[in-house]
Amino acid sequence: MHDERSSVCSPTTRRRLADPLPKALYWCREVKGTPETHYATSGDLRIAYQAFGAGCDLVWVPGWVSQLDLYWEEPALARFLRRLATLTRVIVFDRRGLGLSDRVAAGSVPTLEERIDDIRAVLDDLGVGRAALLGQGYGSPIALLFAATYPDRTSSLVLYSPNAKGGLRTDDYPWGSKVEQQAAWRERQERLWGTSEFAAEWLARLAPSAAGDERAIEWTARVQRAAGSPAASRTLSEMNAAVDVRAILPHVHVPTLVLVREAATTPKGGIDVDAVAEARWIAERIPDASLVIAPGRDYLPWFGDQDALVDEIAAFVTGDRPVREPDRVLLTILFTDLVGSTERVAELGDLRWRELLEKHNEAVRRVLARYGGREVDRAGDGFLATFDGPARAVRSALEIVSELTALQLDVRAGVHTGEVEIVEEGIGGIAVHIGARVAALGAAGDVLVTRTVRDLTAGSGIEFEGLGTQTLRGVPGDWELFAARGQDAAG
């Protein structure tokens, strides 16, 4: 094996990518909103796909289930895709039978040949001659077969936590489970598909760092339900278990990177196997492939230290390694919090309160989307979001107060602009604590801001009322605070 990095972009593209933004500033140049979905014709079926970003074309072949529109509702996954899109043009698609793509006939199991035809159809629809492929997990056999069959259309190949053979263990390929383990797993999967119980179990195996995260569990369950029915999930599992592309590994003659996390395991049926050992075995059988072992323990690439993976992918595909700068960026932070929620629970009862809280969450998310806010966390009855402009954050807060008043919910909000640290869990640093403390000082209906926010929104039309100097618990110094009174929601 060797570790050369082959450039597959034109000189013009390489020059454009040679001066990338610092990692912490990628949000400032990210894909906004949800990319438009298009459909390519593959045989008698329509294959849903999205293409976004600029630079070398990179096709992502996902591991198991997918639903394109829901990709953008998981902050970690959306950030992973947007980060890739600052370095390449990313092409994502739902495989036939899944997500937004056409369903296959009942009892029909798509072949690998049909699945690589779907990639070719998407590239043809976009007018793309050659592209890099990123095959993840169970998507890696599809990417491998495409690269071996169409080397003229494959500029490079990246295999993340790959497998060359489905879930059954054999003497010459020990990374798999026994027949009875496979059967038990499929029965459980079909019975619990799309439930929070199964989603929590699935997420704990695929992304230990997100285990127990209620928001991520809820999203995972939604993706399962939207991707396909329980019967479709069983058919997909059976197909994955039957795949065996070991014979084609020596016939892959495009630049190949095998990428895996050092402590990750690959889920195969009812057990988890050593992802590093399997990846190393595959890399050794592909001519001149490079093997890179990255830090982390999550199988899903968008959880954990996703930047380390994106850096390796970008360096291999574009020929240029992104500059890693300190993970700090200036952002405006918005905290919201429901006031008197304990009393409302006692008044309404648990069931009605949960229904009302769901309406609260939907309303807040609608407003955040309208003003370009990014949901970072939802803890208890509140939201933490970030904005790249303080006026948008304040207007968002005022509109949230107004919309929740219509739901007979009292909310308070705090807004602060400061330097934050980008960490695996989201954001951190003293600025985050300041925003939380400011929100905590408010009463129902208040949108409180620091002097920094007031000064940066001069000329925006938003009116403020001075509240004097306040002490923020746990934060050094005295802080001058203001209450936002402007109701203008334009701009």
pLDDT confidence of residue 146: 94
Q: Which two tokens stand for residue 126?
A: 């976009």
Residue 290, Cα to own-chain centre: how many angstroms? 26
Rounded Cα distance, 27 and 456, in Å: 20
Instruction: Give CA angle at 285 (284, 286), nearest 5°.
Output: 100
Antiparallel, parallel or unpaired: β 271-274 and 265-268: antiparallel
Backbone angles phi, psi at 16, to 5 degrees: -65, -35
Amino acid at 40: A
Antiparallel, parallel or unpaired: β 478-484 and 464-471: antiparallel
Question: Minimal CA–CA distance to 447: which of 336, 331, 365, 333?
Answer: 336
| Residue bearing tokens 């399962």 | 224
- For residue 229, give the 3-state DSSP assignment: coil
Rounded Cα distance, 317 and 311, in Å: 10
pLDDT confidence of residue 351: 84
Torsion of CA 50, 54, 55, 61, to 10 degrees: -20
DSSP 244: B
Into which CATH architecture does domain 328-484 fall?
Answer: 2-Layer Sandwich (3.30)
Per residue in 165-216, pLDDT (tens digit) is 877 788 899 998 888 888 888 899 899 999 999 999 999 999 999 998 898 9
Residue 134 forms beta bridges with which residues? 60, 158
Amino acid at 44: D
Burial class (CB in 10 A: 0-12, 13-18, 19+), 176: buried
Q: Do domains 11-318 and 328-484 have the same CATH topology?
A: no
- For residue 6, give the 3-state DSSP assignment: coil
DSSP 249: G
The residue count for the chain? 491
Question: Minimal CA–CA distance to 300: which of 242, 213, 429, 421?
Answer: 213
Query: How many other C-beta atoms lie within 10 A of the C-beta of residue 187?
Result: 11
pLDDT tens for each residue of the chain, 491 residues long: 434 333 344 333 333 333 333 333 333 334 557 899 999 999 999 999 999 998 999 999 988 789 999 999 998 999 899 999 988 999 999 999 899 999 888 767 788 889 999 999 999 999 999 999 999 998 999 999 999 999 999 999 999 999 998 777 888 999 988 888 888 888 998 999 999 999 999 999 999 999 988 989 999 999 999 998 888 877 777 777 778 899 999 999 999 999 999 999 988 877 889 999 999 999 999 999 999 999 999 999 999 989 899 999 999 999 887 665 556 778 899 999 888 877 877 887 888 888 888 888 999 999 999 998 989 888 668 899 999 889 999 999 999 999 998 888 889 999 999 888 876 557 788 889 899 999 999 999 999 999 999 999 888 889 999 999 988 888 888 899 999 986 544 33
- For residue 11, give the 3-state DSSP assignment: helix
Q: Burial letters for 216-242: b for 16+ Cβ neighbours within 10 Å, e otherwise?
A: bbebbbbbbbbbbebebbbbbbebbbe
DSSP element (H, E) containing 448: strand 447-450
Tell whether pTM > 0.75.
no
Query: CB of 445 within 8 A of CB of 405?
Result: yes
Please report, for the chain, the start and end positions of each structural domain, with discontinuous segments joined by +: 11-318, 328-484
Query: CB of 452 within 8 A of CB of 431?
Result: no
Burial class (CB in 10 A: 0-12, 13-18, 19+), 24: buried
Candidates 3.40.50.1820, 3.60.20.30, 3.40.50.700, 3.30.460.10; CATH matching 11-318: 3.40.50.1820
Residue 378 forms beta bridges with which residues? 383
